[in-house]
Structures are given as C-alpha cells and as structure tokens.
C-alpha cells in the first residue's frame, strides 16, 4: 500500500469538525484549536448499551467516555480544553459518523398540524443569536466577551470536572450544607483554564459569594443569564423551535 493510500485511509477514519458548528459557535476557542472525531469501536458501543441500565454510571458519564475516546485535538490541546456545552453535540456527531445514519427527532409540527421529524445537524440546530451590540464586546484575541469589566467565557470540561470533584469531597465534610447555597458563577470567568485545584476553588467561592459588591454580583448574574441559552439544545424547522432534551433515546441511539 502506497503512502497516498495510507493517508487516504487515515483521513477516512477521521472527520474534521467545524468548531463554528458547535453550540459554543467556536467563539471561545483559540484560533489554532482544531477538532476531529473518530468512529467508535464495536466494543465501546456494546459496553455503552450493556451498561445503560445495568450500571450506576450516569448517562452523561457514558457519553463523555465515548466522546473522550473518539475526539482528536490539534497539538498542545487536550480533551479537558473542550467547552463542556459542546460535548453532547460532539457525541451525536460521533454516533452519526460511526453508524453512517442521521439522528432523527420526532415532534408535532404546529404549522402542518401533524407529526413530523427533523434531522439533528448544523442546518437545524437552534444556535443562540448574539446581538451586534454584544458582539462589539467580543475580544478576538482573548476569545472572551468583555462586559462591565468582566471577561466572560464558557467553562471547559476540565473545570467542570474539578468543580464536581470538589463538591463531592465537600459533601462529606462538616458544614457541607453551605456549599449547596453558594454561587459557582466564577467558572464563566476563568478564560481558557482547564484545571483548577481545591484551594483555588475555595478562594473563588469566597470572592464571588462574600467579597465582591452586590453591584458586581448583579452584573455577573446578568452576564451569565444573557448567555444561558447557549447551553440549551434545540432544533428549528419551519420557524418552530423543538426541544430535544427528552426526544432523543440515548439508550438506542446507536441502532
């Protein structure tokens, strides 16, 4: 087999993902961030399906496991650098690439007055429309929105995991109740960090909950709220928005 044939075969086993097609719209990744997906192997699919009802693992854990194993990133980047809201979308792309089939979503078409279906892809995904006024506050170099003196970004998978582990540990300590009442909005103002230790989290919890002014808390809440729809997965067809949170059967998604 010649070199050209080997290269062609390798390229066929991976597919480049346009980061602008992700829910984050690529706004929060550096310009040299590139992402490819691979086809999931049969053993991992069988394990995913077998454990679906026979394991205490959460659905999202299984989804992330498949995603992590089948995502390839450009040099100097790791899985933990991916923005957490993009993982489900990437998982769906891996499923489609592996099964060579579209993901269809059933819904009631209010325009036609009958049952219908829509294909999950970047043509139907309901992306958040960011106003021109907000885009003027976008810093191309840092890939953040600079609003009221705060630099907003989306949290990476790594930050989400660090915070989850931190809260699990705190839940087993005296005084853990207070951690249920704290705000953890600081995760949206960490730039491109993908790792954070417990001491840093404790400090940020203290700063964002007790040290900053009430005025700044309002500003932070407003900023986070303005971008909250980025995390909502829905499709759009015939000007109708279709919520897919309970319409895609993750157990049978490989079928």
Let me know whether 51 and 114 are in one domain. Answer: yes
Whether 240 is in a domain gets the answer: no
Let me know whether 180 and 146 are in one domain. Answer: yes
- Say how far apart CA 242 and CA 124 lie, in whole Å: 10
The answer to whether the beta carbons of residues 248 and 120 sit under 8 Å apart is yes
Residue 49's pLDDT is what?
A: 82
What is the block-wise mean pLDDT of the chain (255 residues), using blocks of 10 residues? Answer: 46 86 97 96 87 66 93 95 97 96 90 89 95 96 96 97 94 84 96 96 96 96 94 91 84 86
Of 126, 160, 191, the one marking the end of a domain is 126
Let me know whether 122 and 199 are in one domain. Answer: no
Residue 62's pLDDT is what?
A: 87
Residue 172's pLDDT is what?
A: 82
What one-character-per-residue DSSP string does 23-79 give?
TTTTTTS-TT--EEEEPPPHHHHHHHHHHTTT-SS-HHHHHHHHHHHTEEE-TT--G
Residue 52's pLDDT is what?
A: 66
Range of the domain at 205: 132-226
Residue 112's pLDDT is what?
A: 82
């Amino acid at each position: 087999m010649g070199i050209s044939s080997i290269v062609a075969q390798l390229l066929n086993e991976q597919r480049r993902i346009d980061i602008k097609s992700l829910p984050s719209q690529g706004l929060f990744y550096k310009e040299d961030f590139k992402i490819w997906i691979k086809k999931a192997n049969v053993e991992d699919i069988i394990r995913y399906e077998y454990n679906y009802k026979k394991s205490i693992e959460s659905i999202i854990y299984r989804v992330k496991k498949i995603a992590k194993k089948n995502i390839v990133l450009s040099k100097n980047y790791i899985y933990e650098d991916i923005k957490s809201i993009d993982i489900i979308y990437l998982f769906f792309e891996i499923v489609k690439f592996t099964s060579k089939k579209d993901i269809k979503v059933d819904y009631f078409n209010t325009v036609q007055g009958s049952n219908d279906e829509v294909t999950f892809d970047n043509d139907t995904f309901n992306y958040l429309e960011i106003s021109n006024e907000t885009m003027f506050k976008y810093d191309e170099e840092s890939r953040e929105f600079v609003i009221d003196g705060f630099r907003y970004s989306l949290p990476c998978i790594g930050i989400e995991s660090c915070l989850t582990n931190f809260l699990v540990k705190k839940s087993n300590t005296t005084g853990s109740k207070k951690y249920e009442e704290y705000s953890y909005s600081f995760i949206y103002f960490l730039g491109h960090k993908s790792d954070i230790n417990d001491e840093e989290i404790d400090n940020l919890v203290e700063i964002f909950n007790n040290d900053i002014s009430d005025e700044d808390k309002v500003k932070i809440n407003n900023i986070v709220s303005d971008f909250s729809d980025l995390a909502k997965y829905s499709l759009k067809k015939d000007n109708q928005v279709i919520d897919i949170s309970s319409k895609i059967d993750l157990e049978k998604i490989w079928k």
